Structure 1
Amino acid sequence: MTADRDESIRADPGLTDDARGAAGAETRSGRDATVASVVEVADYLWPFHTQENWDASELVVGRPEATVRRILVAVDPVSSVVQEAVDLRADLLLTHHPLMLGGQSSVAADHYKGRFVHELIENRIGLLACHTNADSAASGVSEVLIQACGVTDSRPLQPLAEDSSVGLGRIGTLDQPVTLEDLARRLAAVVPPTAQGVRVAGAKDREIHTVAVCGGAGGSLLDAVAATEADVYVTADLRHHPVSEAREAAMHGDDDGLCLIDLSHAASEWLWAPVGAAALEAALRECGHDVEVLVSTRRTDPWDFRVPSPHPEPQDRWN
């Protein structure tokens, strides 16, 4: 642990003594982590107070005092991931998407969410959700996505008032310009394969300099991106009408307008999972905890397959 990192963890007022790591590290080395200490370290990495007001990033299942020796990180709390956590004998499942988002009032096992809760509790596995707090973090979901595009220096699209380095989305300039097709192929090579694949709106040979991204569903930021210098917006779950309007505006504008790259929602966020897992494991180790943090191998994109069209590919409208 570096001196700066060591001091920042010890000095951070949001962490209790249980989550601090520098002083007396030798005497505390190997001490078991608890659910509470993992939550506090997660709060240090991806502060919960930065989540959107509609979100439910929090500890969902688990006793704060329970011991944690193995953590599984995944995008979605779905049945295959819950079973994977059971099979791996994980003590904590950390998912990006919350399980209880939308006013769930019962955890009875006659519903799949209730069954998940029972399965986790019966196997003594905690569940922690880090959603929009991990989206907004300076080293969070969107930052990992824009780095995959080839941008190493970025800023938030919508910074939080109290911290200009934190906020939804990211924007920055590519280290080296590429064509739109090359950027799309670059992303297709690093995100998990999905039935959707990578959808692109814009001329294949358009030269891309500035990239804006938002991991997950980023349609709400489309107008904000259009007001920037971005050549392309990389996100997921873009709907027909906003995309059509953006392309029409680009066609009839004074310049080349905004290109769009639409990834699968899960694929756009999965890139963060190994990065977040590594950061969590390192921070816990700096706190004197020997915890194994694994990344789920389950594909959780909900679409199963795509039927290719028997017709020729659509002509490129932008040439």
Structure 2
Amino acid sequence: MAVRLGEILPLLEEIAPGGLAESWDRVGLEIGDPGRPIRRIRVLLEAGEDALAAACRDGVDLLVIHHPLLFRPLPRIDTASPLGRMLALVLGNGMCVYAMHTNLDAAPGGLNDLLARRVGLGGRLRPLSARGGAGAGLGRLGSFPRPRRLGALAARLKHDFGASAVRLVGDASRAVRRAAVCTGSGSGLVAEFLSSAAEVFITGDLRYHDAREIEAAGKAAIDIGHLPSERWMAEAVAERLGRLLRRRRLPAAVDARGDEKEPFQTL
């Protein structure tokens, strides 16, 4: 007997509680009927047309995505537009869509905790901007086991995260140990970073004036890019959701696709 979507929604809420999302965000069930039978689930960072077409061919019943499909209110659904075509594809195939965005970033064990460990931070991690208690909030603060040269650290992160380029603020020869991280765009947390004890901010999507503020404060930053900082989201969420389904003996298969490509080219 197939599991119903309504039985899976509490598991997704357990991974990324909706109450942790930023007020401007759009998370949770975007498209779907809680009574819909779900046999196959796919986790994606973002749902482009090619990814949606592949999900339809593969018989996926539920898509779990990081970047919401319906982020801005729609005055109409124009099926000649890219978003309209995607919505027509989803609705025409009876697929459900669930988004976990800034709530997944903020959740304990979520993307910021995973990013902090992937860059090499050890020990106890703390939110850069706390929300909801129990270690929840955007960004993370931690320390490397030993000081790292900024330039060498940037080169390692470029390699490890598969970035085509990284941007560095600060003296490449300086040693840093205390760090702040933020997945996706860290521009909104620059003030919190500057008021913290962290010496370097590892994130994506920093703006020119962010870099100037960091430089003026005598601190450092490594911008690894938005996509490289979170491209492993699908694998991590699929693994965790799969464990929860097995623990509750709910018969739904989960897979992950993480083949998104950078929209930017570095010349």
**Would the TM-score normalized by the shorter structure come out above 0.5?**
yes
Q: Closer, same or farther in 2 for the Cα pair 1:61/1:75, shift >3 Å?
A: same
Contact 2:44 2:234 in 1 (8 A): yes
Q: Judging changes above 3 Å, is the alpha-carbon distance between structure 1 residues 91 and 132 closer, same or farther for their aligned structure 2 residues?
A: same
1:81 offset after TM fit, Å? 1.7
Structure 1 residues 183, 271: closer, same or farther in 2, change over 3 A?
farther
Structure 2 equivalent of residue 317 of structure 1: none
Partner of 1:84: 54
Q: Residues 154 and 171 of structure 1 are in contact (CA less than 8 Å); yes or no, is this contact kept in structure 2?
A: yes
**Deviation digits for residues 171-229 of structure 1 (CA, Å, limit 9, x no counterpart):** 011123322123223322332444xx221112222212111011011111101101111
Correspondent of 1:199 among 158, 167, 179: 167
Shift of 1:59: 0.9
Structure 1 gaps of 5+ residues are 1-30, 251-257, 308-319
Per-residue deviation, residues 111-139 of structure 1 (Å, max 9, x unmatched): 22121111012222211110011010011
CA distance in 2, matches of 1:200, 1:83: 38
State the AA in 1 paired with 2:129.
Q
Letter of the 1:210 counterpart: R
CA contact (8 A) 2:45 2:258 kept: no
Match of residue 231 from structure 1: 199
Q: Distance in 2 between matches of 1:75 and 1:189?
A: 21
For residue 67 of structure 2, the aligned residue among 82, 94, 97 is 97
Distance 2:151 2:100 in 1: 33
Change (3 A) 1:109 1:171: same
RMSD: 1.7
State the shift of 1:247 in Å. Answer: 0.8
Aligned pair 1:265/2:236, yes or no? no
Q: Cα deviation per residue 1:66-107 (whole Å; 9 max; x = unaligned)?
A: 222222211112112212212322111111011111222323
Q: Is 1:156 the counterpart of 2:114 in the alignment? A: no
Equivalent of residue 189 in structure 2, options 207, 221, 225: 221
Q: Which of 17, 32, 39 is equivalent to 1:47?
A: 17
- Contact (CA 8 Å) 1:170, 1:214: kept in 2 or not? yes
The CA distance in 2 between the partners of 1:71 and 1:182, in whole Å, is: 40
Aligned AA for 1:132? T
Letter paired with 1:51 = A
The aligned residue for residue 96 of structure 2 is 126
Q: Match for 2:65: what amino acid?
A: T
Unaligned runs of 5+ in 2: none
Distance 1:128 1:192 in 2: 27
Residue type at the aligned position of 2:6: A
Which residue identity is paired with 1:290?
P
Match of 2:252 in 1: 291
Q: Structure 1: which amino acid aligns with 2:68?
A: P
Alignment match of 1:282 (pick from 225, 228, 243): 243
Residue of structure 2 in register with 1:7 after alignment: none
Kindly name which structure, 1 or 2, has the bigger radius of gyration based on alpha carbons: 1
Structure 2 counterpart SS, 1:270: coil
With the length of structure 1 as denominator, give the TM-score of the two structures: 0.79
Letter in 2 for 1:249: A
The answer (yes or no) to whether the contact 2:234–2:258 under 8 Å persists in 1 is: no
SS in 2 for 1:268: coil
| Closer/same/farther in 2, CA of residues 198 and 84 from structure 1, 3 Å limit | farther
> When the two structures are superposed, what TM-score results if normalisation uses the length of structure 2?
0.93
2:256 maps to amino acid: V
The 5 Å alignment of 1:300-311 reads 300-303=261-264, 305-307=265-267
**Cα distance in structure 2, aligned partners of 1:93 and 1:158:** 29
| Inter-CA distance 87–200: structure 2 relative to 1 (3 Å threshold) | farther
The list of structure 1 runs, each at least 4 consecutive aligned residues, that deviate by more than 4 angstroms after superposition, is none
Counterpart of 2:216? 248
The alpha-carbon deviation at position 51 of structure 1 amounts to: 0.6
Matched to 2:212, the amino acid is S
* Structure ranking higher in strand proportion: 2
